[in-house]
Amino acid sequence: MAKFLTGNELNTELEKIFERADQLIILISPFIKLHDRFISTLRTKKDNPKLEIIIVFGKNEEDMSKSMKQEDFNFFKEFPNIQIRYERRLHAKYYANESSAILTSMNLYTYSQDNNIEAGVMTKATLLGHLASNFVTGEDSFDKEAWTYFKRVIDQSDLLFERTPVFESGMMGLTMKYKESKVEVDKLTEFFADKPKFESKYRKDYTEKKQIEEPQEIPQQTIPPPAAFKGKFLSATALSKELGISSKDLTNKIEKLNWIEKKNDEWVLTSLGKSKGAEIKKGQYGEYIAYPETLINELR
């Protein structure tokens, strides 16, 4: 039977999804940044190689670190039986174990859980054979239809990381003993290795709202005041398309020009960047840096 959830009850039931999982955890969310309470709960599952974890995240095709933080990947990759997948079109959110599932508006993201008005529907169902089978038992057809849909989402997503457990038989094949786990696929470690590194003694609680800090002035350089630009602004993605280069290459070029710099693992404008007319804009997924279209010729 379905149950409607909001507020703290939604967070509580989601935590129970993790607590009560013995065989399967499915996390489907465009944006992932784990809340400390979920980290604590999931950490208790690290010694269970029979627990399969499947994660699908999405959005930000040219910079996946905006959808999943490196610290969360580093946490997940230590689990002995896990898949991490990517679907660029993902917007739906679905969380499940072998006996319950929640379909919700809420990302698996600290800020969303602490600040947003969110709602969800929890159902009770039994996922038998999960990925090995399309069959789901349960009295409510909603359970079956939801699982069938999200299984297709999983199957069609790109596998970026996979770690599988290795068992050895004992007592004449009557028992199976966990031996080790092996990384079968890993495309994320190399991706994050290319990102700038920032040492931190403690896990920082970043939010979806970026805190823009004023950088110090550059020595021996005169920076004119920002000009008032009233024409068309372009995001970094749109600007890279105009220039015919990747967003990563564009970011590297703009950083070398000293228009942007990293602060608390986020790109912010320097005084020089502001003098070029670049501004912070608000979009559907938070704040981003926008550039005047007049800069296209300067960046060619």
Per-residue pLDDT averaged across 83-107, rounded? Answer: 94
**Mean per-residue pLDDT of the chain:** 82
Query: pLDDT confidence of 265, banded at 50, 70, 90?
Result: confident
What CATH architecture applies to the domain 233-299? Orthogonal Bundle (1.10)
Strand bridging mode 3-6 / 119-124: antiparallel
Residue 168 has pLDDT above 50, yes or no: yes
Strand partners, 286: 283
What integer pLDDT is reported at residue 172 of this predicted model? 63
Q: Which helix (H) or strand (E) segment is 150 a member of?
A: helix 141-156
Structure tokens at 110: 């600290």
Range 3-193 has CATH code 3.30.160.150? no
Angle, CA 206 vertex, CA 68 and CA 82 arms, to 5°: 30
pLDDT digits (tens, 9 = 90+) for 106-148: 999 988 888 899 999 998 765 544 443 444 444 456 778 888 8
Structure tokens at 180: 């080790």
Structure tokens at 232: 């068309």
What integer pLDDT is reported at residue 277 of this predicted model? 87
Describe the crossing of helices 236-243 and 247-256 by its angle, rounded to 10 degrees: 100
Instruction: Report if pTM > 0.75.
Output: no
Domain boundaries defined on the chain: 3-193, 233-299
Give me the DSSP letters along 22-74: SSEEEEE-SSEE--HHHHHHHHTTTT-TT-EEEEEEES-TT-GGGTB-HHHHH
Residue 152 has pLDDT above 80, yes or no: yes
pLDDT digits (tens, 9 = 90+) for 38-60: 999 999 999 999 999 999 999 87
CA dist 129 and 198 (Å) reads 42
CA dihedral in degrees (251, 255, 258, 264; nearest 10)?
Answer: 100
Residue 190 has pLDDT above 60, yes or no: yes
Give me the DSSP letters along 244-296: TS-HHHHHHHHHHTTSEEEETTEEEE-HHHHHTT-EEEEETTEEEEEEEGGGH
pLDDT digits (tens, 9 = 90+) for 20-44: 999 999 999 999 999 999 999 999 9
Proportion of the chain in helix, strand, coil states, percent, rounded to 5: 30, 30, 40
Per-residue pLDDT averaged across 156-170, rounded? Answer: 91
What integer pLDDT is reported at residue 215 of this predicted model? 45
Per-residue pLDDT averaged across 273-298, rounded? Answer: 84
Provide the greatest CA pair distance for the chain. 80
Higher pLDDT, 130 or 273: 273
Higher pLDDT, 180 or 231: 180
Higher pLDDT, 293 or 1: 293
Angle, CA 83 vertex, CA 55 and CA 237 arms, to 5°: 60
Per-residue pLDDT averaged across 276-286, rounded? Answer: 82
What integer pLDDT is reported at residue 163 of this predicted model? 96
pLDDT digits (tens, 9 = 90+) for 191-231: 887 755 433 333 344 344 444 444 444 444 444 544 555 67
What integer pLDDT is reported at residue 249 of this predicted model? 86
CA dist 118 and 207 (Å) reads 16
Angle, CA 78 vertex, CA 73 and CA 79 arms, to 5°: 105
Lookup result for tokens 């159902």: 123
Per-residue pLDDT averaged across 274-299, rounded? Answer: 84
Structure tokens at 230: 């009233």
CB 215: neighbour CB atoms within 10 A?
Answer: 17
Q: Is 90 within 8 Å of 58 (Cβ atoms)?
A: yes
